[in-house]
Structure 1
Amino acid sequence: MYKVNEIFETIQGEGSFTGVPAIFIRLQGCPVGCSWCDTKHTWAVNPDLQVKLDSVMAKSAETEQWAAITAEQLLALFQEKGYQARHVVITGGEPCMYDLNPLCNTLHAAGYQTQIETSGTFAVQVPAKSWVTVSPKVNMKGGYKVLQSALDRADEIKHPVAMDKHIEQLLQLLQQTDISNKLIYLQPISQQAKATALAISYCKKYNWRLSVQVHKYIGIA
């Protein structure tokens, strides 16, 4: 059973799949504690706020309510809703608190591709064909360390930046990581102009890529 806070179809606005129609599965639960997190309603798993799937799908605002759902129920929901996207983004919260193999294998068997968005602070339990986006969270309130195993598994590393120290943190993380087959993105925190200028300068310096959270600029979920 997966604890799900939201399910919706939209356009992926970040990283390698920017512009791709996608179904987002937002899982409940995250102890990492990022100060700038824009989904803090997914942090706590309160048993008193467990609801039925219908209630989750009927949400009109962000809440801490969640539903326990199987992989098969999620697949049936996609078909019931008539979702056309074939790219599924599993995010959170921190999705790697869960073993995602059953969910991803079920989706792959039905013809979907999967992408995982994780902080890199939990072991990444996914099939080999899943695309893994690690957005490393360093020195956050929760005290979790970014795992080398998560960085090694990443297909892309998408690092949030606002100050030079964030670049220094990324460079330190990459020292022990083979990035020859990985894509490296810098993503300005909160669309700040200074953060964007900083990210652009370092993208040019290191031949990295820029991720600008397109969905926030155009005003979609």
Structure 2
Amino acid sequence: MKEDTLVIHEIYASIQGESSFAGLPCTFIRTTGCNLRCSWCDTTQAFYGGTRMPRSAVLARALDTGTDLVELTGGEPLLQPAVFPLMTELCDRNRTVLVETSGEADVSPVDPRVHKIMDLKPPGSGESHRNRWSNLDHITARDELKFVLTGRTDYEWMRGIIRDRHLTSLTPKLLASTAFGTLLPRDLVAWVLEDKLPVRVQLQLHKYIWSHDTQGV
């Protein structure tokens, strides 16, 4: 059954590089496969391949790393039905569970104990038309909304979405990231300060600690 197995690209322990959990030891379960092709994607290696594993084996490997924090990422993890019971099983074992998702997949079945880190795709991603706006109905104060920005046009789009969709009424955790090597972080900081925008500017820590194209970190 699809609920019993997952196609896994890699499972490893590192530190969380993004979100309000940045810097904390974290186990990453990276699934294979994604139905989007964002212009700035940095995990294209996870589009294909991978190893099909029993859900029980994935759970065991994640628990064996010993970190309290576990993230499901991809690819797009919510494309695989077994991800949903896996997240519940991790929560049941007292792990703090994060799921990083594109914003196109339906987040409504996610266990409410899980912290959803959900993208809203700006125009520069090439996938802005794929945003599933109904997902915002399932965002709570424990969840985080992330914008990856390629330039000023994306920034202004984000600013408008925060205002028009009343995002601060859903969650205080609004994340503004620069597409690595495309938008200078200092420019984003200047815009945020000028507009007094209620966002957390974040960098991808793992790309500064290790090489930007190193995998498994």
Mark yes or no: TM-score above 0.5.
Answer: yes
Match of 2:41 in 1: 37
- Rounded Cα–Cα distance in structure 1 between residues aligned with 2:53 and 2:159: 39
Aligned residues: 198
Tell me, yes or no, if the aligned pair for 1:148 and 1:177 is still in contact at 8 Å.
no
Match of 1:101 in 2: 84
- Rounded Cα–Cα distance in structure 1 between residues aligned with 2:116 and 2:14: 19
Aligned counterpart in structure 2 of residue 216 of structure 1, from 193, 207, 215: 207
SS, match of residue 179 in structure 1: helix
Going from structure 1 to structure 2, the CA distance change for 1:91 and 1:183 (only over 3 Å counts) comes to same
SS, match of residue 107 in structure 1: helix
Q: Are 2:120 and 1:130 aligned?
A: no
Aligned counterpart in structure 1 of residue 148 of structure 2, from 160, 164, 167: 160
Structure 1 gaps of 5+ residues are: 45-64
Going from structure 1 to structure 2, the CA distance change for 1:202 and 1:152 (only over 3 Å counts) comes to farther
Structure 2 gaps of 5+ residues are: 212-216
Going from structure 1 to structure 2, the CA distance change for 1:143 and 1:18 (only over 3 Å counts) comes to closer
Match of 2:180 in 1: 190
Tell me, yes or no, if the aligned pair for 1:162 and 1:195 is still in contact at 8 Å.
no
- Rounded Cα–Cα distance in structure 1 between residues aligned with 2:152 and 2:127: 22
The offset of 1:136, in angstroms, is 1.8
- Percentage of matched positions with identical amino acids: 27
Which segment drifts farther, 171-180 or 5-14? 171-180
The offset of 1:32, in angstroms, is 0.9
Aligned counterpart in structure 1 of residue 134 of structure 2, from 121, 136, 149: 149
Residues 1-221 of structure 1 mapped to structure 2, 5 A cutoff: 1-44=5-48, 65-79=49-63, 82-99=64-81, 100-124=83-107, 125-139=109-123, 140-141=125-126, 145-154=130-139, 155-174=143-162, 175-180=164-169, 181-192=171-182, 194-204=183-193, 205-219=196-210, 221=217
